[in-house]
Amino acid sequence: MKVSVVIANYNNSKFIKECIESLNNQTYKNIEIIFFDDNSQDNSLEVINKYKNIKIIENKIQTKFGSFNQMNAFKESIRSSTGEIIFLLDSDDYFREDKIEKVVDFFLKNKNENIVFDYPIIKKNNEEIPQNKKINFFNTYWGYIHPTSCISIRRRFSDKLLDKVISNKFSDIWLDIRILLFSKYLDKYNVINDNLTFYRQFEGNISSKFKKFSKSWWQRRNLAHEYFINFKIINNLKVSKNLDFYISKLINKFL
């Protein structure tokens, strides 16, 4: 079975080598790599061009919203790919050497499943912190949000999925939570309970802007609730509001 790894990159030249070499060192070998460079201003293209057998897409037109740019990168990369299984990967992240083998094995054993998530190992300040299912204080609609690089999907399902989750609304709602909500409420939530993805957190990347309980964190949480209500309405699902919704609304009134 051929698989495709689609990589979204913007100004991450210093992480590209580790990202690509994690794919070249996989125990599973039938891999196609699609690298989407989103108008980087660093030497990303110079770095990626040193590697062979990688399809490079150079994009020169961006929006001012990183979330929309990332969604466009994956959408265009998937359209250019040919593998039966699609692995999403941000260029500052990388895979454990047996990730692709384990994900392919899941899909081979579960012929009717379309999406699967794995858990990350957070890399932060030279620490490696494995993540797993947590009991949240708030009973959220989404639960644990798997980073984008922890998401794998079947090609045959990709068009339906992207048509449902990609839009030009809710600019602070990124692809990870959009796909998570889709899988939980419109498809099926499948998880490989293993840490297969290294997820980098560093000062200046998106996750660093939303420190827990900060003003921006509460604002994005409030927007996530608004996105979820809109998601349920357009998909003809029953709309309900829980305690977390009201707490988020209340706190945002005072920010």
Rg (CA), the chain: 18
Task: Give the whole-number percent of the chain exceeding pLDDT 70.
Answer: 95
Same domain, 120 and 232: no
Same domain, 197 and 99: yes
- Domain encompassing residue 67: 3-208
Same domain, 163 and 191: yes
pLDDT digits (tens, 9 = 90+) for 118-163: 999 999 888 999 998 765 555 678 889 999 999 999 999 999 999 9
Residue 192 structure tokens = 């490989």
Residues 6+ positions from 242 with CB-CB distance below 8 Å: 139, 140, 141
Q: What is the CATH number of the domain that holds 204?
A: 3.90.550.10
Same domain, 177 and 232: no
CA distance between the termini of the chain: 51
Which residue type, as a one-letter code, is found at position 250?
L
Same domain, 179 and 255: no
Can you give the pLDDT at residue 126? 85
Can you give the pLDDT at residue 254? 87
Same domain, 147 and 239: no
How many domains does the chain divide into?
2
Can you give the pLDDT at residue 12? 96
Same domain, 142 and 66: yes
Cβ atoms of 47 and 138 closer than 8 Å:
no
Same domain, 218 and 199: no
Q: Which residue shows structure tokens 């454990």?
A: 96
Three-class secondary structure of residue 208 per DSSP: helix
Can you give the pLDDT at residue 132? 87
Can you give the pLDDT at residue 211? 74
Same domain, 219 and 177: no
CA dist 36 to 12, 163, 180, Å? 12, 20, 23
Same domain, 249 and 175: no
Can you give the pLDDT at residue 149? 98
Q: Of 173, 188, 208, which residue is a domain's last? A: 208
Same domain, 129 and 238: no
Residue 254 structure tokens = 């005072």
pLDDT tens for the chain, residues 1 to 255: 999 999 999 999 999 999 999 999 999 999 999 999 999 999 999 999 999 999 999 999 999 999 999 999 999 999 999 999 999 999 999 999 999 999 999 999 999 999 999 999 999 888 999 998 765 555 678 889 999 999 999 999 999 999 999 999 999 999 999 999 999 999 999 999 999 999 998 776 666 566 777 898 899 899 999 999 999 999 999 988 888 899 999 999 988
Same domain, 114 and 130: yes
Can you give the pLDDT at residue 242? 87
Query: What is the rounded CA–CA span in Å between residue 34 and residue 48?
Result: 11
Residue 215 structure tokens = 């003003």
